[in-house]
Structure formats: C-alpha cells, structure tokens
Amino acid sequence: MRKGLLYLLLCVSGITVFFPILYAFSVSFMTSEDILRRSLVPTNPTLQNYVDVFASVPIGHYLLNSFIVATITTFGMLCVSALAAFVFAFVPFKGRGGVFILVISTLLIPWEATMIPNFLTIQSLGWMNHYLALTVPFFALAFGIFLLRQHFKTVPQELYEAAQVEGLSTFQILYKVVIPYAKTSFVTLGIFGFLTTWNMYLWPLLVTTNDSVRTVQIGLRRLQADEVATNWGMVMAGVVLVILPTLILLMVGQKQLQKGLTKGAIK
Amino acid sequence: MADAIKKHGVKTSISRWERSKNYRIAIIYLLPSFLLFGLFMFYPMINSLFLSFFFTDAQGEATTFVGFENYTYLFQSDSFRQSVKATLLFVLYTVPTSVIVSLFLALIANEKLRGIGFFRTVFASTLGMSVAASAIIWLFMFHPTAGILNAFLTAINLPAVSWLQDSTMALISVALTTVWMNSGFAFLILLGGLQNIDDHLYESARIDGASYFYQLRKITVPMLSPTLFFIMTITFINSFQSFGQVDILTGGGPAEATNLIIYSIYREAFVYYQFGPASAQVIVLFIAVLVLTLLQFKFGERKVHYQ
C-alpha cells in the first residue's frame, strides 16, 4: 500500500521533472507538421533537424570551443584550488586563519557585482574573443579551495609524516600523497567545474563578439533568436546537442557529485 | 674545531631558512589564488564602488566625479524601482517553492526501494541543464500557439494562458522555469542531508508508533535544518543573480515586468553604456545581498539544529 503510493509519487514527479527534457528530445526529431499539430511524439521521426542545425550555424565549432573552455577551466581550477587548499590543511603559519577567512569572504561577492570592471579589465588586457577571457577569471574559486581543504584534512597525519621522513619535498607530498588520497574530491570538483563552465551564459555573452571562441550556449541563443518564427525542430536539435554532454556527465558522476558536494555543504 | 664552527654556522643559517619555510611555501602556493582573487574579485569590487561615483564615457573611463548623483538618479528612476519590485517578487516566488519542491523530491527519493537510483538520476537531471537550453525549451512550451502547456490546458477544458505576454504571468513563468532549473542541485544536496540522518532515530520513533508526518516534523526537519538553511541561502543568492532565463524568455518585458536587477544592470552597462549608474546598481545589489544573507544567518542560525 505504502510502497504503491510511493511509486506513484515517484513516477508522477519523475515525469513532471523530466518532461521538458524528454519533450526537447522528441521535438528535435519532429517534422514541422508534427510541431504545428503540437504532437507529443514524432509520427514520422526525422534527422533533418540535426542536418539543418549543422548547416545553418557552426555548431560543431561552438561545441569544440565549449569543450576547450570547460576543460581548461576545470584543470586550472583544480590546480589553483589544490595548491591553496594544501596550505590551509597542512602548512601552519601565523595568520593562516585570517587569510582563510579572506578567501571565504569572496563567497559573499556575487560574481555579477564584479562583471563591469572585469569586462573593462578583459578589454584593456586585449583578451576579448580569446580563450583567456573565458577561463582564467574562474581559476580561483573559494568553494573549490574550501571543498578540497575539507577532504585534505582527512589525510591521516601518520601518512603525511611518513612522507616527510621519506624526504619527499612539499610539492611531491602534494601530488604523490595528498592528491591520490583525496582523489574523490578532485573528481567531484572536476565534474562540478565542468558542468558550471559548460553552462556559463552571461560572461561568454559579454566577452565574445564573434564565432572564433564563442561557446555553444551563446551559439544556442543566436540560433533561437534567428530561427524563432521558422524552425523549432532545428532549435531543439541544437538544444539536445548542448545538453547531451552534461547530462551524460551527470548520469555517470551523480553519486560521486552528491557524496562530494554533501561533504562540502555539511561539515 | 673549525669543522664544528662551520657545522654550527651552517646549522643556524639552515634553521633560519627552515623556520621561514612554511611562510615561503604558503606564499608560493597561495600566490595564484590571491593574484586571481585580487584581479577579478577585490579590485573590481573597489572599482565598482569607484565607478558608481562617476560619469563614464563609452569605453568605461571615469570622466566626471558626480558624488551620489548616480544613486539619487537610481532611486528616482521608475525603471529601477520596477526592477527592485520585480526582483523581490521573484525571490518570493522562487525561494520557498524551490525549497519545498526539492525537499519533497528528496523525501520520496530517500526511501529504500527497488529502482530508486533511476528516480534519483531523473530528479537530479536539471543540474546538467544549462540556463540557455532550459530557457529555450520553456520558451517553446510557453509559446501561445505552438506551446504544449496551452495545448494541455485546452485538453482539460481550461482557458489558454498568455504565459509571457501578460505582465503578471510573465514573472510567474520566469519563476517557474527558475524553480525547475534550481531543483536538481537543491534535490541532490537535500538528499545527501537526509542520508546523513542516523537511522536509529527513526527506528526508535517507529517502535513508539510515531506516524510518518510526526517523524517528519520531529526528526527529519530538525536534523535536516543545517542543509535546509544552506539550500535556502544558495537559492536566495541564485534568484538575485538570474539573468539567462530573463534574457531568453522575456528580454525584461512586458512593460519591464521581468526586468530583474542583473538584467537591468546588464542593459544599463552593455546596451546603454551607462557604466556609472550601472555600477551604482551593482553596489545596491551587493549591499542588499550582503545584508539579507547576514540577516538570514542571524535569524536562520537560531532555528538550525546542529548535531
């Protein structure tokens, strides 16, 4: 009885939550007649929308740009955060607590509050329409430093001391002992970083003005703005191409992400 | 003897070198973070404040010092007042709804049932959805004639709704899209929180014959309160920062009904090139978020039960 009710609730909620995504997939295979008739499923499934989307915008190029940007940002974020987190977990010095609070205080600065001067900085550095503008500003991340520090602190003191006795340098300890030990937190932060960078919208809109480094999210907006009255099937094919990589990443890494984020959110 | 002195000398110089070792490591390892925080966080924050007291040219160079004129201009501007009103309403629509919806999803997904992993993945799926993709899907579903939502309403004999064309409905529609987009992340965090609650608490409650809702009220919500509090704060900050869904769904319209603060800042700065007034809005936004977050911590914290 209780079980049945639960399954009913789960199914209804699942369909409600997942409907927009399923529907986007469905529409992407529809002919324009199906779309006009407001069908739920394509009566005559076609791949034409996908052919059209590749023909009308350089979507492959946008996808590649997004991959490059998301990969570089994730890697940069992991490196910069790991170095800082190592200090906050293992290297005691006077005033460390204060410095750590300074890092955490950046969480109170909404990124949007800095976007105007950042835009001007990027302009004066000559980074407009360059991968640098899309990646470097996001390397330092208080959340990343915090998350890794929480995990680094779980490294057993004996392991750390043994590494010191072995005569490993500090940097060797970081990448031969600490990083392998806290590997899960790196995977979590990596998935999180990739998802957020891939999905970034406002910043790429500001700092890219042509197709050379434009990311797929901005390409999607362009596609929608150009095509809105004419071809929804093609727009949805574009949407599907954009969400597929992150949905797959999420499905593969969901357990991992949940474990890691929970540990970061709740002490 | 000479050897001993030499040794001794070397030893002291090593030890001074050694003593400062931690500082040197700290400086080198923290340097990348602090350079980046400085260039892209602290400096722009100060620069925003600075720009808010100036008129600027189209390149964003400060030209004339105008004191608080940008601020007085803001508070007299109908557009800004409308934007504050829209933002507050939007927060009111999205924050409680997001928390309740994702708590519900987390509760039903926390049961030990066969196939529950599948439902968890489904509920978390919006975390993988970008703002642009989500907004475009909903734009299509909201479409007055081609949209599936109105088709559904017509099918159950309800009148069609002009989702994005009516100024009251437009804000609700943007909020609906936002709640959907937020639900994945909030769900995942809340589910994690639920799984951290000790099973023994429920076992003894069950032995005492406590009902599901009694357990929910007396065990789950109190034990989950730190996580709920975290989610509330995050959702709250997120809704202040909503941009993409406004840009794609409504462009701030109709009649500025969805001109949320970030969108208003974007328009002022990057469409009209009014960096001064835009920066003044940034500072107002920053102070508002800061004060509300601190208030939330002050009052929320009291009700929060930590293990």
Query: The complex's ipTM?
Result: 0.89
Residue B272 contacts A where some CB pair is shorter than 8 Å? no
Beta-carbon contacts of B197 under 8 Å, excluding residues fewer than 6 positions away, are B219, B220, B223, B224
Label residue B3 by pLDDT band (50, 70, 90): very low
Distance between CA atoms of residues A59 and A53, nearest Å:
7
Tens of pLDDT, residues B41-51: 999 999 999 99
> Tell me, what's the pLDDT at A229?
62
> Tell me, what's the pLDDT at B7?
46
Label residue A74 by pLDDT band (50, 70, 90): very high
Distance between CA atoms of residues B93 and B79, nearest Å:
21
How much is the mean pLDDT over chain B? Answer: 87
B172 or A261, greater pLDDT: B172
> Tell me, what's the pLDDT at A264?
59
State yes or no: pLDDT of A213 exceeds 70. yes
CB A10 within 8 A of CB B102: no
> Tell me, what's the pLDDT at A227?
65
Give percent above pLDDT 70 in chain A. Answer: 97
Distance between CA atoms of residues B75 and B87, nearest Å:
15
Q: What number of C-beta contacts closer than 8 Å exist between A and B?
A: 259
How far CA B288 is from CA of A113, B38, B39, B234, B279, in Å, comes to 12, 23, 24, 15, 14
Rounded mean pLDDT, B173-181: 96
State yes or no: pLDDT of A249 exceeds 50. yes
CB A111 within 8 A of CB A173: no
What distance, in Å, lies between the first and last C-alpha atoms of chain A? Answer: 37
Rounded mean pLDDT, B176-191: 93
Rounded mean pLDDT, A228-252: 88
State yes or no: pLDDT of A228 exceeds 60. no
Chain B hits for A206, CB-CB cut-off 8 Å, are: 270
Label residue B301 by pLDDT band (50, 70, 90): low
Residues 241-270 of chain B with CB under 8 A from chain A are 241, 243-244, 247-248, 262, 265-266, 269-270
> Tell me, what's the pLDDT at B5?
45
Closest C-alpha to A211, from A72, A67, A59? A59
Closest C-alpha to B142, from B234, B248, B214? B248
State yes or no: pLDDT of B9 exceeds 50. no
Least confident interval from A149-153, A218-222, B3-7, B205-209? B3-7
Tens of pLDDT, residues A17-62: 999 999 999 999 998 888 888 888 898 899 999 999 998 889 999 9
Chain B hits for A266, CB-CB cut-off 8 Å, are: 192-193, 196, 226-227, 230
Q: How many residues does chain B have?
A: 307
Distance between CA atoms of residues B130 and A216, nearest Å:
10
Cβ of A246 and B129 within 8 Å? yes
Distance between CA atoms of residues A217 and A225, nearest Å:
12
Distance between CA atoms of residues A214 and A62, nearest Å:
6
> Tell me, what's the pLDDT at B298?
78
Rounded mean pLDDT, B158-186: 92
Task: Specify burial of residue A57 (Cβ count, 10 A radius: 0-12, 13-18, 19+).
Answer: buried
Which helix (DSSP H) or strand (DSSP E) does residue B63 occupy?
strand B62-65
Cis before B254 (ω within 30): yes
- Phi/psi region, residue B123 (left: phi>0; alpha: psi -120 to 50; beta: rest), is alpha
Residues 104-123 of chain A with CB under 8 A from chain B are 106, 108-121, 123
Rounded mean pLDDT, A84-88: 94
CB B52 within 8 A of CB B280: yes
Question: Residue B304 in 3-state DSSP?
Answer: coil
CB B264 within 8 A of CB B54: no
Query: What's the pTM value of the predicted model, to 2 decimals?
Result: 0.88
* Token couple for A105: 């205080």
Residues 108-167 of chain B with CB under 8 A from chain A are 108-109, 111, 113, 116, 119-134, 136-141, 146-148, 151
CB A262 within 8 A of CB B192: yes
> Tell me, what's the pLDDT at B1?
43
State yes or no: pLDDT of B6 exceeds 70. no
Cβ of B130 and A199 within 8 Å? yes
Distance between CA atoms of residues B34 and B27, nearest Å:
9
State yes or no: pLDDT of A166 exceeds 90. no
H-type alpha helices, chain A: 2-28, 32-36, 48-56, 59-90, 96-105, 115-125, 131-135, 142-152, 157-165, 170-172, 179-181, 183-198, 202-207, 216-227, 232-265
> Tell me, what's the pLDDT at A106?
87
Beta-carbon contacts of B5 under 8 Å, excluding residues fewer than 6 positions away, are none
Distance between CA atoms of residues A21 and B146, nearest Å:
17
Give percent above pLDDT 90 in chain B. Answer: 43
Residues 50-79 of chain A with CB under 8 A from chain B are 79
> Tell me, what's the pLDDT at A239?
95
Distance between CA atoms of residues A259 and A253, nearest Å:
10
Label residue B292 by pLDDT band (50, 70, 90): confident
Which helix (DSSP H) or strand (DSSP E) does residue B208 occupy?
none
State yes or no: pLDDT of B113 exceeds 70. yes
Rounded mean pLDDT, B103-112: 93
> Tell me, what's the pLDDT at B2?
45
Q: Within 10 Å of residue B112's Cβ, how many Cβ atoms?
A: 5
